[in-house]
């Protein structure tokens, strides 16, 4: 039986990049595959710690990881992840992720991590061990469940390749006719692998961009969405057309396409004689119709959190049981002591 696994950091600030790049895709995969696959979506609160603690500033940001975890769970539920079809769970509720991370960290050269571009972008002279070993924990997340398919945006592709390298290494060392070894996971590219910033079409839309006008948050009001799209960067060419030399307009077109389900060609035809302003107005309407209701549902779910806690409890228990079974087998195959 296939197992679809993906993860998302509880950042507290969910934006269109997370939604179109990941969550919308997860919902589609859930609807298509839940009968023949097990599905796990992990809220990676331990990964989020690497972003919260900026040793340079000697502070922990004020919002708590717990609150952000609950907000993320609400966002997943509000977006259509259904606990009857998928398991939503919290990384730190299953201690075996961190345990497997240790073992993977011991079976391959440390210098594998030095080539990780995300690390190279984020590191500073005071950055933490956690930031460095982040990709090993991600590999552990995936391999702990014997995942067969991992849907992620293109920014995570390198981490998935590393995960596959760890699986290969494990199997080279420990797989034989008596052992099962580790399942090799496949990358599933999301339909919209890279949603770009509204202010700069060469940068990805990100929660860490200092300008709130670079992104649409799921909880933005309709007025704010309208304002952000109105102020979104475009260029002096009035035509709505996909063009690699026009990254901002292309990004808006892709957002339109992803939310409406229409092809780029159809949209180009629809707007062939419209102004950029008309296109932007229609795009705002579309975002307001598709995304703002999710923001309202998130707020609704957060009013009375019972449903969120129940869903997580069920997901945590299922993930825990599966992970426990697998870690015991992995430890045995590695020749370790198992209670």
Rg for the chain, CA atoms, rounded: 21
Binding mask 142-171 for ligand TYM (x = CB under 6 A): x-------x-xx-xx--x------------
Task: Give the Cβ contact number of residue 203 at 10 Å.
Answer: 13
Is residue 175 among the annotated active site residues? no
Query: Smaller CB distance to ligand TYM: residue 155 or 227?
Result: 155
Is residue 207 among the annotated active site residues? yes
Between the alpha carbon of residue 273 and those of residues 171, 240, 276, 285, the distances in Å are 58, 9, 10, 19
Is residue 8 part of the contact set for ligand TYM (CB under 6 A)? Answer: yes
Smallest distance from the beta carbon of 192 to ligand TYM, in angstroms? 6
Is residue 101 part of the contact set for ligand TYM (CB under 6 A)? Answer: no
Q: Are 39 and 4 in contact (CB under 8 A)?
A: yes
Smallest distance from the beta carbon of 115 to ligand TYM, in angstroms? 16
Smallest distance from the beta carbon of 188 to ligand TYM, in angstroms? 10
Binding residues among 235-294 for ligand TYM as defined by CB under 6 A: none
Please say whether the dihedral angle defined by the alpha carbons of residues 136, 158, 249 and 203, taken in this order, is positive or negative: positive
Six-digit token string for 14: 């969910």
Among 17, 83, 201, 315, binds ligand TYM (CB under 6 A): 17
Is residue 123 among the annotated active site residues? no
Of 54, 207, 241, 313, which is the active-site residue?
Answer: 207
Six-digit token string for 137: 């924990």
Is residue 7 part of the contact set for ligand TYM (CB under 6 A)? Answer: yes
Q: Are 204 and 155 in contact (CB under 8 A)?
A: yes
Sole window of 186-194, 258-266, 272-280, 329-337 interacting with ligand TYM (rule: CB under 6 A): 186-194
Rounded-to-integer distance, Cα 217 and Cα 53, Å? 23
Is residue 185 part of the contact set for ligand TYM (CB under 6 A)? Answer: no
Of 204, 228, 280, 282, which is the active-site residue?
Answer: 204
Is residue 6 part of the contact set for ligand TYM (CB under 6 A)? Answer: yes
Of 13, 28, 122, 233, which is the active-site residue?
Answer: 122
Task: Give the Cβ contact number of residue 62 at 10 Å.
Answer: 6
Grouping H, G, I as helix, E, B as strand and the rest as coil, residue 196 is strand
- The phi and psi torsions of 204 (rounded to 5 degrees) equal -75, 150
Six-digit token string for 66: 């717990």
Report the half-sphere exposure of 1 (CA within 13 A, side-chain side).
10
Among 29, 100, 138, 308, binds ligand TYM (CB under 6 A): 138
Query: Smaller CB distance to ligand TYM: residue 101 or 311?
Result: 101
Is residue 194 part of the contact set for ligand TYM (CB under 6 A)? Answer: yes
What is the total count of residues that contact ligand TYM (CB under 6 A)? 26
Between the alpha carbon of residue 268 and those of residues 240, 248, 256, the distances in Å are 6, 15, 11
List, in order, residues 6 or more apart from 125 with CB less than 8 Å away. none
Closest CA to 264 of 253, 280, 277: 253
Is residue 216 part of the contact set for ligand TYM (CB under 6 A)? Answer: no
Sole window of 18-26, 105-113, 255-263, 290-298 interacting with ligand TYM (rule: CB under 6 A): 18-26
Between the alpha carbon of residue 149 and those of residues 5, 175, 192, the distances in Å are 6, 21, 17
Smallest distance from the beta carbon of 35 to ligand TYM, in angstroms? 22
Among 195, 259, 286, 298, binds ligand TYM (CB under 6 A): 195
Annotated catalytic residues are 122, 204, 207
Which stretches of the chain bind ligand TYM, using CB under 6 A?
Answer: 5-9, 17-18, 21-22, 44, 47, 138, 141-142, 150, 152-153, 155-156, 159, 192-195, 204-205
């Amino acid at each position: 039986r296939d197992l679809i696994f993906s993860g998302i950091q509880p950042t507290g600030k969910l934006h269109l990049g997370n939604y179109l790049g990941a969550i919308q895709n997860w919902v589609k995969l859930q609807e298509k595959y839940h009968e023949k696959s097990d599905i796990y979506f992990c809220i990676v609160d331990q990964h989020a710690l690497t972003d919260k603690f900026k040793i340079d500033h000697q502070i922990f940001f004020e919002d708590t990881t717990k609150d952000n975890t609950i907000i993320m769970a609400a966002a997943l539920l509000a977006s259509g992840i259904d606990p009857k079809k998928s398991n939503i769970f919290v990384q730190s509720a299953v201690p075996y992720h961190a345990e497997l991370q240790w073992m993977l960290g011991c079976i391959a050269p440390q210098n594998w991590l030095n080539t990780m571009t995300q690390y190279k972008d984020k590191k500073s002279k005071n950055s933490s061990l956690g930031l460095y070993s982040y990709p090993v924990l991600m590999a552990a997340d995936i391999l702990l469940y014997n995942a067969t398919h991992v849907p992620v945006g293109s920014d995570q592709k390198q981490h998935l390749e590393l995960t596959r390298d760890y699986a290969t290494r494990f199997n080279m060392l420990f797989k034989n006719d008596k052992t099962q070894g580790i399942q090799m996971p496949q990358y599933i590219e999301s339909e919209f692998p890279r949603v770009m910033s509204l202010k700069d079409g060469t940068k990805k839309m990100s929660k860490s961009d200092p300008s709130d006008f670079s992104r649409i948050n799921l909880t933005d009001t309709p007025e704010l969405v309208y304002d952000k799209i109105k102020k979104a960067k475009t260029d002096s060419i009035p035509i709505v057309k996909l063009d690699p030399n026009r990254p901002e307009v292309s990004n808006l077109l892709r957002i339109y396409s992803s939310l409406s389900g229409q092809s780029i060609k159809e949209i180009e035809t629809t707007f062939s004689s419209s102004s950029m302003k008309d296109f932007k107005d229609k795009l705002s309407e579309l975002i307001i119709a598709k995304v703002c209701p999710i923001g309202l549902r998130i707020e609704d779910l957060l009013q009375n959190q019972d449903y969120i806690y129940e869903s997580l409890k069920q997901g945590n228990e299922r993930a825990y049981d599966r992970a426990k079974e697998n870690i015991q087998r992995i430890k045995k195959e590695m020749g370790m002591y198992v209670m």
